[in-house]
Structure 1
């Protein structure tokens, strides 16, 4: 059983290893973070925790039954009841419904724990898996956009009571 945990200082080493291990995998569908991201990871991690403490973002890691990181799911740019959803699921957990379940859990947390009413997400058109995860979780396309020179879409989901078929 996978579970979301709010990002903490003691997640730093495991999160850095997760990002390194999945760097090439992620780069196939999203822009690479670049070498500077990895070189300055410790300071970046501390900065993320400060943003979280200020209520600007809500960062989470997805942990599997063994306690290993399987992904991350974040809410950024929290403002006026809305936030942008972002997520990365590692290659070992891909294709098993993990992303769909993690996004569903985050939508629930966003509404119940963080008091949000709207989530926004963006993805490239050449990432059909991400578009499927978002569609399964009630996100709908609101705008065509460019993401680092690639065609993409912005999606939106209003949060509220869960649909009867989603428990």
Structure 2
């Protein structure tokens, strides 16, 4: 069971801890955020919340059945009824269907709450787990891309507005 919570200032400490604990795990398949990300975390969080308040992004944390923050899932660059999906689930929650459940829930929110009609996503070719989550979640491959110098794939999913 997973629950998405819209990002709030109260999530900052838990989110920073989640990112620190999973930094090495994430770096195996996605570009590392770098030391600056952690040094400027509080300022970046304020910026993310301002973007959310402006309606250009929708940020969420993924919470497990024990109330622990185990991931994050975001809809960014909201424009013309579309947004880009990004997500990460920590090592402890990996392989348990949490990413797939979180993507399903954010697709529902995108349509029913945020009024979006399409989502895009991308991942590197060396991240088969993320590719599988997107395919299981109804995303279709629409082309190739390069992410931080690494070959990748772009996806799109049409969603029904609620």
Per the normalisation by structure 1, the TM-score is 0.95
Equivalent position of 2:101 in the other structure: 101
SS at match of 1:143: strand
Report the 3-state secondary structure (helix = DSSP H, G, I; strand = E; otherwise coil) of the residue aligned with 1:66.
coil
Measured after TM superposition, the shift of residue 65 of structure 1 is: 1.9
Q: Does the residue aligned with 2:77 lie in a helix, a strand or coil?
A: strand
What's 1:29 paired with?
29
Identify if the C-alpha distance between structure 1 residues 79 and 161 changes in structure 2 by more than 3 Å, giving closer, same or farther. Answer: closer
Q: Within 5 A, what are the aligned runs for 1:10-159?
A: 10-159=10-159
* Structure 1 gap segments, 5+ residues each: 163-167
Give the secondary-structure state (helix, strand or coil) at the position aligned to 1:51.
Answer: helix
Work out the CA distance in 1 between the residues paired with 2:118 and 2:65.
30
CA distance in 1, matches of 2:12, 2:102: 20
Moved over 6 A (4+): none
Q: Is the 8 A contact 2:116 2:161 kept in 1?
A: no
Secondary structure of 2:75's aligned partner: strand
Helix, strand or coil at the partner of 2:30: coil
CA distance in 2, matches of 1:2, 1:134: 17
> What secondary structure sits across from 1:71 in the alignment?
strand
- Where does structure 2 lack aligned partners over 5 or more consecutive residues? none
CA RMSD of aligned residues (A): 1.1
